Amino acid sequence: MSDYNLDLHRQAANTIRGLTMDAVQKAGEGHPGMPMGMADVAVVLWTQFLRHNPQDPTWPDRDRFVLSAGHGSMLIYSLLHLSGYDLPLEELKRFRQWDSKTPGHPENFHTIGVETTTGPLGQGITNAVGMALAERWLAARFNRPDHAIVDHYTYVIAGDGDLMEGISQEAASLAGHLGLSKLIVLYDDNRITIDGTTDIAFTEDVMARFAAYGWHTQKVNGHDPLAVKAAIESARAEGERPSIIACRTHIGYGSPNKQDTSGVHGSALGDEEIVLTKQALDWPTEPLFYIPEAARDFMKMDGRFQSEWEIVWENYLVNYPEDAKRFKQFLNGELPAHWDDILPTFEVDKSMATRASSGQVLNAIAPHVPYLLGGSADLTGSNKTDLKGEAALAKDDFSGRYIYFGVREHAMGGILNGMSLHGGIRPYGGTFLVFSDYMRGSVRLSALMGEPVIYVFTHDSIGLGTDGPTHQPVEHIMSLRAMPNMTVIRPADGAETAVAWRLALENKSGPTSLVLTRQGVPNLDRSKYAAAAGAAKGAYVLSDAPNPQVLLLATGSEVQIALEAQEKLAEKGVAARVVSMPSWELFAAQDAAYQESVLPTSVTARVSIEAGVTLGWERYLGLSGTAIGLERYGASAPHKDIFQNLGLTADTMVEAALALLG
């Protein structure tokens, strides 16, 4: 420890404080307090421990660093700039400006070196649990004696807000359960939140809570570099438990008038106070954005860690060529070439829930996509997400391929994001569709980041029956459709479900929500109806009639109702076309000619049916069509009674069609 240069440390930390104050002041907005308070901790971590390579930010075995308290973004921008990432000082001077690389909160899809997008509190630390889980899982699969090709830490800086959020508590409990000992959280214990001191709302014993989760806990003075260094060393030495180190810090460290106040949390200090602070820190007041060369040299990171790893990797290539090939397959996410040989087919006309079809498809795919890893939030049997013959991950055994997330939907979402961000894994997770609400914060981040997480949302409507309205999604399908970059697929039968899984796996630029029934639906006779391959275009003519007078639009379990209505209309001499619309997003991506071929502008008599809110259906119906759906919550009863009593029937469709046709 004694060889740690405290003068260089001080210069580096003050450089971060100066960059932070100046950038926030220039932007006029931002959060200077946290970077100023955690600068000491961050400098110790980045200079003494973090194994990374600014020249190759995608090096697979780099340590992961997550700034969970994302509002303190100037901390990570300063660290990235100083350590040598492609983030020029000019970008720091453009903090929070249009198209700069320094947005208000860190965005991994926008700024090289940022591992995940943070800001919504609790998400970063949860992503980190996913990253640490991914590391452990890949290590269990690929490391060989003297060939530890997967062997890195995941470090987090988290604040009070992160730890107050429920998602982080769920994630911490699971991390403790799984013994993710290479996860190290540096808790910025500054006792200040936006509303004031933490004692106005947050007086629990945080360390005791984490100990109860099975974590290794320490407390240090966050402004004592040697103490911080020793604590991180102890955390790394801990082989059984994840670690949290409460770093007692002063928010806005150095500011004579604002340190330790909520005023410095989220507002610029003002020119005058910045001068006073720099003076108090014994730091040049000019130039702005001052970086002494000594500090830059101290923070600079070369490629030495990656070089060390490359040697191991080269040996691995020689000694374990098959494993190396497989490892690359995992990292690249290579998909099977011949889907038709893999995907199951389904017995025609047999009644089968699409969740059951999904389970069969998943199990057919799993052997061919060995990096597929997922689980359920304590609804395995209901979601049909289990992989037959694969064990669940346990503290002492990561050889399996299934995760019992517990009743922790929000953490599941954040962990799936972290697994995906880590690389080498294609994650999926299941719960009831209604509980997509519980995890919406994380699901949105999947979409915003473009992470290809697969969400398996079963029990997708009133069709789940007697569990009643608390469990019956009504608004959820449309709410997911409203989320940019989310692909929602609600298949009508087994064949469409197989297509849906293929599409989900092929979608690498964003998440997919598979929306599946609890109740049985008939596997459609594709010799009578159009092939399910049409589902890949989002919507397709499932069953046509010559010169259709009316279009019947439906998704999922309501497609069978539309087909029944079509027959009834035919009996009355009305030609109706049935369009199955499993995915609005995929349909919107088709060209205008295809869209017109499915939904001809000339046919304005249109009736849709979906067991959910009708808001949004006007996109395909216009003002002249009729949407059959629900403008209310469901009810507890056998599902057929609910469909009947709430008017989701073929007869209702027929009546609506006839009314439109006059």
- Compute the distance between CA of residue 635 and CA of residue 25 in angstroms, rounded to an integer: 55
- Give the type of residue at 511: P
Q: Residue for token digits 């060529």? A: 321
CA 625 and chain centroid, separation: 37
From the CB of 599, what's the least distance to its own copies, in Å? 10
- Compute the distance between CA of residue 625 and CA of residue 614 in angstroms, rounded to an integer: 11
From the CB of 477, what's the least distance to its own copies, in Å? 9
Q: Quick one: 60 or 375, whose CB is closer to its own copies?
A: 375
- Compute the distance between CA of residue 580 and CA of residue 532 in angstroms, rounded to an integer: 9
From the CB of 606, what's the least distance to its own copies, in Å? 10
Listed in order, strand segments (DSSP E) in 5-163 are 64-67, 154-158
Q: Quick one: 525 or 631, whose CB is closer to its own copies?
A: 631
- Compute the distance between CA of residue 290 and CA of residue 267 in angstroms, rounded to an integer: 21
Q: Quick one: 193 or 358, whose CB is closer to its own copies?
A: 193
From the CB of 493, what's the least distance to its own copies, in Å? 24
Q: Quick one: 209 or 248, whose CB is closer to its own copies?
A: 209
User: Between the CA of residue 111 and those of 88, 91, 92, 303, 447, what are the distances in Å?
Assistant: 11, 10, 12, 20, 17
CB-based burial of residue 104 (10 Å sphere; 0-12 exposed, 13-18 middle, 19+ buried)? middle
From the CB of 114, what's the least distance to its own copies, in Å? 12
Q: Quick one: 301 or 627, whose CB is closer to its own copies?
A: 627
From the CB of 406, what's the least distance to its own copies, in Å? 4
Q: Quick one: 57 or 468, whose CB is closer to its own copies?
A: 468
- Compute the distance between CA of residue 624 and CA of residue 608 in angstroms, rounded to an integer: 12
Q: Quick one: 480 or 554, whose CB is closer to its own copies?
A: 480
* Beta carbons of 661 and 552 less than 8 angstroms apart: no
User: Between the CA of residue 454 and those of 417, 425, 495, 550, what are the distances in Å?
Assistant: 10, 12, 18, 35
SS (H, E, C) 431-454: EEHHHHHHHHHHHHHHHHHCCCCE
What counts of helices (H) and strands (E) characterise the chain? 26, 20
Other beta carbons less than 10 A from residue 118's beta carbon: 31
Catalytic residue among 409, 451, 496, 610: 409
Active-site annotation holds for 409: yes
Beta bridge partners of 512: 454, 487
From the CB of 433, what's the least distance to its own copies, in Å? 12
Question: Any idea which residues carry the catalytic annotation?
Answer: 409
